[in-house]
Structure 1
Amino acid sequence: MTTTADLRSGISSIAAHELFDSLPPVTVDEMIGRWHGSEVPTGHPMDGLLALSGWYGKEFIDADHVHPLLFGTPGKFYAVNPKLIPMRTLNRAGAAFPRVMPPGGRSAFRALRTRKPRARLRTLDFRGATSAAMVYDDIPVIDHFRRLDENTVLGAMDQRGSEQTYYFLLERD
């Protein structure tokens, strides 16, 4: 059985697809709450960038109110507007993008804060199963979720124009 530690250490994109496809779906209601995220390195161009940025995870208030990019630390969380992050550029230039945060770099994300929810939860078909998915409001990205255990889901970021799926873990706070 693949553990979360194994996934955080990295697996091939083929193994990630196979694992994701083997997992049971989750409902929208099961996603409600705050989740701590971590990356699953698979050779995707964006590997390492979320961790470098100081990303904490996601917060699902209800089906229509989701903060898809939560930054900070417990007691000091803030949501970031994903529309202000150059996702396509990061996806294309990912491997060439520096993996070192300049001094004060993480604090730059505070300038991208938002109080408005920037995504919704819906039930969608993806890779052969119907499961909860997070649909971003302003960017062509859908994060699909499957259950690893009662408090952990494997996420698959499906971005229009990207040839690869980006995988990540969410663990319930």
Structure 2
Amino acid sequence: MTALELIAAGEPDLDAVAAAFDACGAVAPGALRGTWRGGLFSSGGGLAARLDKLNWYGKRFHDDEDVDPLLCRSADGGLYSYDGMGLARLREVTFRGVPSAAMIYDTQPIIDHFRRVTDDVVLGAMDAKGQPRILYFHLTRVE
């Protein structure tokens, strides 16, 4: 399956998601500017459950030094930057052999690695120290 087919599938096999992530090309940090709506490839425990509880919406990339990593939806439908895990910045980081944009949390041992699907769609792999597996997600640019 292609990355776009996996996104449409909702909860595909995570091995297929990992393979699609590895097949996608690099994305430059500057290409991520703007607001992105996110979606998870897995639900349930761990980090996915925490994001669901926060009503996670996506991410906002202002510039390389200023990223809102957890953009959430409030009860009234508005968006806000959840600051309980701090802010983040963008850098190019080599992950699984590919140098590409990565979001590094300022105060958490977490790096989100990104790969390009289209100019307005990326796959993400959240690598969190102490977590047993990678959390895969996708982002679609909304502005």
Report the TM-score, using the length of structure 2 for normalisation.
Answer: 0.86
Hey, what does 1:121 align to over in structure 2? 90
Q: How many residues align?
A: 138
CA–CA distance in 2 between the matches of 1:30 and 1:75?
27
Shift of 1:76: 2.6
After superposition, the C-alpha distances for 1:35-60 in whole angstroms (9 at most, x for unaligned) are: 00111127774445423431111000
C-alpha distance in structure 1 between counterparts of 2:29 and 2:103, whole Å = 9
Distance 1:66 1:19 in 2: 25
Unaligned regions of 5+ residues in structure 2, if any? none
Name the counterpart of 1:153. 122
Supply the distance in 1 between the matched residues of 2:57 and 2:119 (Cα, whole angstroms): 20
Matches within 5 A, 1:76-87: 76-83=78-85
- Residue 12 of structure 1 and its aligned partner are, at CA, apart by 2.4
Provide the rounded CA distance (Å) in 1 between the counterparts of 2:19 and 2:44. 15
Which structure carries more helix by proportion? 1
Which aligned runs of 4 or more in structure 1 are off by greater than 4 angstroms? Answer: none
- For 1:25-40, list aligned pairs within 5 A: 25-40=26-41
TM-score by length of 1: 0.72
Query: Which stretch of structure 1 is more off in the superposition, 23-32 or 12-21?
Result: 12-21
Partner of 1:60: 61
Could you give the per-residue CA deviations for residues 70-124 of structure 1, whole angstroms, max 9, x where no partner exists? 11279832111243xxxxxxxxxxxxxxxxxxxxxxxxxxxxxxxxx71000000
2:134 to 138, 162, 165: 165
Superposed counterparts of 1:5-154, under 5 Å: 5-6=8-9, 9-41=10-42, 45-72=46-73, 76-83=78-85, 118-154=87-123
Q: Structure 1 residues 137-146 or 39-48, which shifts more?
A: 39-48
What is the percentage of aligned positions where both structures have the same residue?
40
Task: For 2:8, give the aligned amino acid.
Answer: A
Q: Distance in 2 between matches of 1:71 and 1:139?
A: 18
- Give 1 or 2 for the bigger CA radius of gyration: 1
User: Aligned Cα RMSD in Å?
Assistant: 2.2
**Runs of at least 5 residues in structure 1 that lack an aligned partner in the other structure:** 84-116
Residue 26 of structure 2 contacts residue 116 of structure 2 at CA under 8 Å; is this kept in 1? Answer: yes
